[in-house]
Amino acid sequence: MAPISLPDCEGPSLKPFPHNLDEFHFIEVLNCDTLHGVIVKAQWNNRLYAVKFFISDARPLINYEEIYSMENYPNQCCEAFDWHFDPFEKECRAFGRLQEVGCEHLAVKVHGYVRVTSDYIKDKLRPEQRSRFQKLTVRNSTPQMMGIVKDWIEMAEYDNEDLRSRYDRLYQIFHIPQMIEDLHGLHRNGIVVRDLRSDQYVNGVLVDLSCSATVPHPYGPTTSGEPSMWQPRWTFSSLAAWDLFSFQWQIIMLWNKEHEHLVKLLGGRPQGMPDFCPFVAYCVPSSSDDYQEVAKQTYGPFLPMLNHFKQPFPVREPPRWDPLEYLDNRHLMGEGEEAKTM
C-alpha cells in the first residue's frame, strides 16, 4: 500500500518505512497491556523488529476554544494541546525529532511508518496469533491501520522464560542512571513523555512515546517568545518536571517497594542484585500525603505540575532542561552530543 503523508504542521515528522512489509515474517502478537496499539514481533533479513500497529478509536471531541486557565484547570493542559495529535502522530513527531537531531540512542530506534489493513496483518499471522490480534483490536474503528517499525529489544536474559518480564523489571536498577540521563536528553531535544512508567522500558530502553508532546506544538507556547492564547510559557518545563516526578515515583520508588516481592517470585535474590535503589530523578516527599499537603498550600512560588491525571502537585524544582528551549539547548551542549555524566 502506498505511503501517505502525515499531517502538515510545523515540527518534526517521521518518514515512511522504505521497504515492503510483504517480506516480513510476522512471528507473534505480544500479549501486552497497551492502550493505543498492538505490537507484532517480526523478522526480516535475519533481524528482529517490533511493529506497533495503532488502534484507531473514535477521536474525542476537542474543544478548540478552550484555553489554559489557572482558575479552572490549574493542573491540566487545554484539550487541544492534549488531543490534537493522536498516539500515532505523537510517536511520529517524537521519533522524527530524535532522527532529526541525531539522538536516536535516547529511545528505541525506529525505521519509519507504514499503512496496512487489519486483514493484511491477519493474513500474515498464524491462526492462534490471528485470534489474539482480533481480540486486542476489537476497538479499532477503521480497516486501515498505521504502524511504526521499531528495533526489537530483548528483555534481560533469564533462564525461566515465564519469569523473564519480572526479572527484566528487577534488573532495571542497573539501567536507571542511564535511563535518567536519557530522559534529560529527551527534554533537551524538546520532547516530554507524559505517562512515564516502568513497563514502557525493555532492558532499560524506552520503547513507547504514544502520549508524548514535542516542541513546537500548534496549541502550545510559542518558541518565539510571543504569548500563546492556549498555553502558558512554562508548559513544557512543567511537563518535564512531571516526567522526572513520574520516574521517581513510578520507577525508582516502586522498585524499592516491589523488589522483595519480585525476588520471592524468582525464588531468591540474583547474585549481585542490590536491595535498594538509591538513585534520584526528582526530589519528592516520602509519602503522597506529604505531597498532597504541600499542594493544598495557597502561597509560595510554585507553579502547578501539569499532568493527565488531575494530580495537584506543585513544581518543587525545575527540570534540567526546558524543552521549549530545545534549539538553544542543543547549542549549549553541541548538536547531537549527549552528556554521559552518570
The answer for residues whose C-beta is within 8 angstroms of residue 305's C-beta and 6 or more apart is: 75, 238, 241, 242, 245, 311, 313, 314, 315
For the stretch 327-342, pLDDT in tens is 999 777 665 454 444 3
Confidence (pLDDT) at 6: 56
Confidence (pLDDT) at 342: 38
H helix runs in 84-208, sequence order: 87-100, 118-123, 127-136, 164-171, 176-188
Distances from the Cα of 32 to the Cα of 132, 135, 300, angstroms: 11, 12, 43
- Local confidence band at 171 (pLDDT 50, 70, 90 cut-offs): very high
Confidence (pLDDT) at 315: 94
- pTM exceeds 0.95 for this model: no
% of the chain beyond a pLDDT of 90: 78
Confidence (pLDDT) at 60: 81
Confidence (pLDDT) at 327: 92
Distances from the Cα of 214 to the Cα of 63, 115, 187, 206, 323, angstroms: 20, 23, 9, 16, 8
% of the chain beyond a pLDDT of 70: 90
Complete domains list, the chain, with CATH: 21-333 (1.10.510)
> Among 72-76, 111-115, 217-221, where is mean pLDDT lowest?
72-76
The answer for residues whose C-beta is within 8 angstroms of residue 35's C-beta and 6 or more apart is: 210
Residue 295 confidence (pLDDT) above 70: no
Give the β-pairing of 191-192 and 110-117.
Answer: unpaired
Question: Contact, 110 vs 210, CB < 8 A?
Answer: no
Q: How far apart are CA 148 and CA 90, in angstroms?
A: 11
Q: Which residue has the higher pLDDT, 339 or 297?
A: 297
- Local confidence band at 243 (pLDDT 50, 70, 90 cut-offs): very high
H helix runs in 247-325, sequence order: 254-265, 288-296
Confidence (pLDDT) at 59: 77
Confidence (pLDDT) at 247: 98
- Local confidence band at 11 (pLDDT 50, 70, 90 cut-offs): confident
Distances from the Cα of 187 to the Cα of 66, 140, 162, 177, angstroms: 26, 32, 35, 16
For the stretch 38-91, pLDDT in tens is 999 999 999 999 999 999 887 789 999 999 998 888 999 999 999 999 999 999
Confidence (pLDDT) at 324: 98
Residue 34 confidence (pLDDT) above 80: no
Residue 173 confidence (pLDDT) above 50: yes
